Each structure stands twice: as C-alpha cells, then as structure tokens.
Amino acid sequence: MSPMTTRTMLLTLTFFTLRAAAIYYPFIEYSGTTFFDGFDFYGAIDNTTWGNVTYVDAAVASTESLAYINDQGNAIIKVDNTTNVLAAGIQYRKSVRLTSKAEFPIGTLFIVDAIHMPFGCSVWPSIWLNGVLEPGQVWPAAGEIDWIEAINLMDHNQMALHSFAGCNQSQGVFQSGQSVIHNCNDTTASGCTVEETKPNSFGAGFNNNGGGAFGLQFDVAGVWMWFWNRTSIPNSISSTSSNPAATMDTSDWGTPSAAYPSAGCNITEFFPNQQLVVDITLCGLWAGLPVVYNAATGCPGSGPNGSSCFLANIAGNGSNYAEAYFELPSIRTFSLNSTLAALGENSAGSGGQQTTGVASGSPSATADDSQNTGGAPSGAVALGSGVGQAMWVAAMLVGMSAFL
C-alpha cells in the first residue's frame, strides 16, 4: 500500500470517528415523587409489538402498584405478578407503557440511572425514543432510536436505529459495541443493530452488580449511546445527579457503545422530534417468536419441540415475573440550547435544532472523542457550533501528517 493511500485512509478514519464533546444545560428531569407527572400512560393492549399485555392507565397502575415511587424515592415500573391469567384463548397480563408528554428535538442529551432492569423468560423491556409522526405518516417515517432493550435471558443490551431507506450505520465507526446490521431500514425489522460488549449491561448480572447508567446523545452530527456499570459512571454524571442546575460536560464520557455518525445517516432528515418511551411487554414479535423463544436456553418450554411463549410463561399466577420491573432513580435530559433548557417542559418540542458539530454532509459532523486519550480535549468545542470541533480536527490532521 502506498504512503499516499495510507495517509488518505487515516485521514478518512479520523473524520469518520471523532465525536465532539459539549456542554449541555439541564432540561427536563424525571425523578422523585414527580417522576410520572411528565408521562402519559398508554391504556391499551400492546398493538405495536403484539405482546400479550394490556398497558394499564395511570389509575390502575397506581391502584395495583404497577407504577409507584418506593421508599428510596425511585420509580418502580413493573409487570403484574399476582393475577391468574387463563391459558385458553387470547389473554393479556397487565403491564405499563409510558410516553413522555415532552417532545425532544435534536440537540438533546439523555441519561438513565437504573438500579434494576426487568428480565426473565418472555420479558421484553425497553427504554427508547419514538419519532413524532405528522398526519398521514406511518412508522418509521419519524425514526425510532432503541437505546435500552433486551429479551428473555439476554445478558447484554442491544441498540438500534429504525428508519426508511437511506439511513445506515457507517462502516468502521469508533465504538466499543459490536455492529450486527448496518442498514437502518433492515427488512427483518431489526434496524441497524449494535450489541453491547461490556459485561453486566442487562439481566441478572446488571441487577446483581448494582445497575448502572446509560447515556444518549441526539445530535445533528449523529446519535451515540453509552453504558457504564455502577463503578464506572463518569464524574460528570455522578457529581451532577443531586444538582438540578448543573450543566453536563460530556468530555469524560469515553468511547460510546454505539455510534451512528451522520456520514451514514442524515439525522435531520430521518429523525425529527422524539418522545421518550419506557415499557415492558411480554412475548410478542421478538421475545415470543418461536425461532427466538425456542433458542432461549433455560426458558420453560423452549427447544425444538417447545410450547408457546404465552403458555410457558404468561398463563398462570404470574409469580415468575417477580424480576420483571424497572427501578429508576432518574431519567435526566439536557439541551445544547440554554434558552430552551431554561423554559423546561413548556418549551419541549418547540425549539430549533442545536448541534455540537456541523450539519450532515460535512466530514467533521461525525466527530467522536475517545475517553480524552487522543480525543478532543475538554473545552475544545465552541458550544452550539462546529468551530471548536473543526479547529481540533485540523490540528489533529496536522499532527498526523508528520507520521505519514
């Protein structure tokens, strides 16, 4: 390979793998006794992923303790584990699906602190972003960002974007997770999928390890997602958790688990305002698919001649769902737009797009920092613009040229 070819490849790699750090302003926080105030309860059967659950309304969720604040001040969101469900006919077990009243524009940062995640055979929990459809549009016209999601006895998180054709995860992105599918309009409906490779990101291991935190950066320059176990949560997150006025500096967030830079997917085109969704369904079009459920080693009735996901799990007294609950101290959101952040939920969905970088189509729009070890140093980025990022990339390229 010629020196010029090597140089070109390295410069291209630099452009496509660097994420801009930024300062974000506190926006909307879901925590404490008011955690549920910012959400709507679905109040209908699962008619999207066709799990055998009825998502209850707020009154039932409160009365039957399916959504409440525990003695530690944390939100509990759970599946009914006390009601007997008949094995005959089409039956549903009660569960909860929350959708944020607020719409979140590009330029929003999300952080979930979780102590316990739902898991178990047939269990399909997720925390995700659902694009706000215009009249006449159908999914996935406004996109979907699957941030925290797994099924059955999986021990790792899975992340994905869903879109119409034209959005892809670029090859060779800088992330710690393992890319499985690059086409976000994948015909299997899996989206462009990345599997978490850090240990204890889901299931029993997550819960036994004290839980952890998940971050998501929704930006013109791309979408990035992180996971940290309880002992590796960045100081920028832990030190601001009790200060509602503190800004968030992402420069210590390190390598993302999943990276979707705008070089492969024009974020402004495929992902307008998003609503935050938290839900737990059972069986359905992923966890309950025969080919999937029968491969779930350790689940009752699984295997080549196994029974259905419903009969093996949902039917009965529900005691097998004792671990099917979220325990969430908080979900915090931040905005690059200080004015929008100051207005809080009253302004959600009405603000203009903000970005750490420049619009899709510019090479530096895909920037990604790597734990400040060769990444952009803290403070290098001019807030709300690509100037600082562009200057840092230029300096990086000048430095690289000495070795090429």
User: Which tens digits make up the pLDDT trace of 182-237?
Assistant: 999 988 889 999 999 999 999 999 999 999 999 999 999 999 999 999 999 999 99
In which region does residue 284 sit, left (phi positive, over 0), alpha (psi from -120 to 50) or beta (all else)? left
pLDDT of residue 54: 98
HEC states along the chain? CCHHHHHHHHHHHHHHHCCCCCEEEEEEEEEHHHHHHHEEECCEECCCCCCCEEECCHHHHHHCCCEEECCCCCEEEECCCCCCECCCCCCCEEECEEEECCCECCCEEEEEEECECCCCCCEEEEEEEEECCCCCCCCCCCCEEEEEECCCCCCCCEEEEECCCCCECCCCCCCCCEECCCECCCCCCCCEEEECCCCCCCHHHHHHCCCEEEEEEEECCEEEEEEEEHHHCCHHHHCCCCCCCCCEEHHHCCCCCEEEECCCCCHHHHCCCEEEEEEEEECHHHHCCHHHHCCCCCCCCCCCCCCCHHHHHHCECCHHHCCCEEEECEEEEEECCHHHHHHHHHHCCCCCCCCCCCCCCCHHHHCCCCCCCCCCCCCCCCCCCCHHHHHHHHHHHHHHHCCC
Residues of the chain falling short of pLDDT 70: 1-20, 305-306, 345-404
pLDDT of residue 244: 86
pLDDT in tens, 48-106: 999 999 999 999 999 999 999 999 999 999 999 999 999 988 899 999 999 999 999 99
pLDDT of residue 352: 53
pLDDT of residue 17: 45
**Which tokens belong to 305?**
């001649």
**Catalytic residues, which ones?**
144, 149
**Which tokens belong to 293?**
């459920």
Q: Is residue 27 within 8 Å of 102, Cβ to Cβ?
A: no
pLDDT of residue 296: 87
**Which tokens belong to 1?**
């390979």
Q: How far apart are CA 142 and CA 134, in angstroms?
A: 8
Q: How far apart are CA 282 and CA 151, in angstroms?
A: 9
Q: How far apart are CA 70 and CA 180, in angstroms?
A: 38
Q: How far apart are CA 251 and CA 325, in angstroms?
A: 32
- Residue that has been written with the tokens 């009825």 in this structure: 54
pLDDT of residue 384: 28
Spacing of C-alpha 138 from chain mean position? 21
**Which tokens belong to 32?**
């404490």
Model confidence, pTM: 0.84
183-190: which pairs have CB atoms within 8 A and are 24 or more residues apart?
184/160, 184/260, 184/265, 184/270, 185/140, 189/162, 189/285, 190/160
Edge-to-edge strands of the sheet including 75-78?
67-69, 75-78, 325-328
First to last CA, the chain: 12
What are the two backbone dihedrals, phi and then psi, of residue 67, each rounded to the nearest 5 degrees?
Answer: -150, 115
Neighbour-count burial of 199, counting CB atoms closer than 10 A to its CB (0-12 exposed, 13-18 middle, 19+ buried): exposed
| Of the candidates 131, 147, 128, 148, the residue with the CA atom closest to the CA atom of residue 139 | 131
